């Protein structure tokens, strides 16, 4: 009967420790404040507003999406393809509830989403679902784990799933050899503009985020 079955969650992932969530949020806030003040950003403001002269408050533009985490497998309570297999995977069972250190390598934003890219270690990649990149961009050969990120905020009406898709668009551009326009060296790192409102801040010192591998049922 249903009571003997294991319930499959909405998603599995690494959940950032509460104190670190605050730290990352304030880091992102500082970044947005700095960005908004740069002439280079103001020049491309219409990417965000659709109009050249309009102002934008980036901190209000990106709405908070709750508890900060890095999704591994989106299961949709078992409805997503491969979710039962993932939930039953030995590595998933073994690591469930374990702490891990996530390396955040960049902050990025687009007119849709704001996120932090996560560089997964070999060990963390064992929890990364097969096909996460292919499922999103079937025609490209993107590195395994390149979709890994923490959603920091979304524009109004945008679902968090978009953050990973935006990241993969950036990864694809980089893979195609597009270097973007190196804009400025900020205190946190170097800022690059990739066009169409896509900005990447490569952190000078990768930030290490303590996180717990677990799942979310909602
Ligand atoms: P993300 O990992 O970028 O934050 P929702 O609240 O929309 O149901 O999503 C719950 C979580 O699962 C969010 O963290 C979200 O995005 C992620 N997510 C939603 N849909 C997908 C999907 N199709 N593939 C991968 N991750 C998803």
Q: Can you give the pLDDT at residue 128?
A: 98
Ligand 1 pocket, 163 CB below 6 A?
yes
What are the tens digits of pLDDT across the range 104-160?
999 999 999 999 999 999 999 999 999 999 999 999 999 999 999 999 999 999 999
189, containing H or E segment: strand 189-193
Cα(164) to centroid(ligand 1), Å: 9
Is residue 31 within 8 A of residue 200, CB to CB? The reply is: no
Q: Hey, whose CA ends up nearest to atom 17 of ligand 1?
A: 161
Q: What is the pLDDT of residues 40-72, one digit of tens each?
A: 999 999 998 887 667 889 999 999 999 999 999
The contacts of residue 33 (CB under 8 Å, 6+ apart) are 58, 59
Say if residues 7 and 196 touch (Cβ distance below 8 Å).
no
C-alpha of residue 96 to centroid of ligand 1, in Å: 19
Both tokens assigned to 43: 């020049």
pLDDT at res. 5: 72
Q: What is the mean pLDDT of residues 189-209?
A: 96
Q: What is the pLDDT of residue 55?
A: 81
Does 99 sit in the ligand 1 pocket, CB within 6 Å?
no
For 184-195, the pLDDT digits (tens) are 899 999 999 999
- The pLDDT assigned to 14 comes to 98
Q: What is the pLDDT of residue 52?
A: 65
Beta carbon of 161 within 6 Å of any ligand 1 atom: yes
Nearest protein CA to atom 20 of ligand 1, as residue: 161
Q: What is the structure's pLDDT at 96?
A: 98
pLDDT of residue 95 exceeding 80, the answer is yes
What per-residue confidence (pLDDT) applies to 47? 92
Q: What is the mean pLDDT of residues 194-216?
A: 96
Mean pLDDT of 82-88: 96
Residue 134's alpha-carbon distances to 20, 140, 153, 169, in angstroms, are 31, 7, 24, 13
Q: Rounded to 5 degrees, what are φ and ψ at 31?
A: -60, -45
Note the pLDDT of residue 54: 74
From the list 157, 161, 126, the residue with the least C-alpha distance to 144 is 126
Give yes or no: 44 in active site: no
**Residue to substitute in 74, 162, 166 for testing ligand 1 pocket (most ligand atoms within 8 angstroms of CB):** 74
16 and 68 Cβ atoms separated by less than 8 Å:
yes
User: Is residue 11 in contact with ligand 1, taking CB distance under 6 Å?
Assistant: yes
Q: Are 149 and 163 in contact (CB under 8 A)?
A: yes
Catalytic residue among 149, 194, 198, 211: 149
Query: Per the residue annotation, which of 44, 69, 73, 95 is the catalytic one?
Result: 69
- Please tell me the distance between residue 193's alpha carbon and the centre of ligand 1 in angstroms: 26
Nearest atom (ligand 1) to Cα of 71:
2
- Contact call for residues 184 and 31 (beta carbons, < 8 A): no
- Residue 78: left if φ>0, alpha if ψ -120 to 50, beta else—which one? left
CB-based burial label for 170 (10 Å; 0-12, 13-18, 19+):
buried
Percent pLDDT > 70 in the chain is: 98
């Amino acid at each position: 009967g249903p009571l003997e079955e294991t319930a499959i969650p909405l998603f599995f992932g690494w959940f950032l420790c509460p104190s670190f969530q605050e730290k990352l949020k304030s880091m992102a806030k500082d970044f947005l404040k700095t960005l908004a003040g740069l002439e280079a950003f103001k020049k491309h403001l219409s990417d965000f507003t659709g109009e050249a002269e309009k102002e934008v408050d980036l901190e209000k533009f990106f709405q908070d999406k709750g508890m900060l985490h890095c999704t591994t497998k989106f299961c949709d309570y078992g409805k997503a393809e491969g979710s039962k297999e993932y939930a039953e995977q030995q590595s998933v069972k073994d690591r469930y509830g374990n702490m891990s250190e996530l390396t955040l390598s960049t902050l990025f934003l687009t007119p849709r989403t704001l996120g932090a890219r996560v560089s997964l270690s070999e060990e963390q990649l064992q929890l990364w679902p097969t096909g996460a990149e292919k499922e999103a961009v079937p025609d490209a050969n993107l590195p395994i784990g390149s979709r890994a990120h923490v959603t920091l905020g979304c524009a109004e009406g945008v679902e968090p799933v978009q953050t990973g898709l935006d990241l993969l668009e950036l990864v694809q551009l980089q893979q195609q050899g597009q270097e973007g326009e190196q804009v400025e060296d900020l205190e946190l790192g170097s800022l690059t503009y990739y066009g169409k409102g896509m900005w990447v801040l490569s952190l000078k010192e990768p930030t290490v985020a303590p996180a717990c591998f677990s799942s979310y049922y909602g």
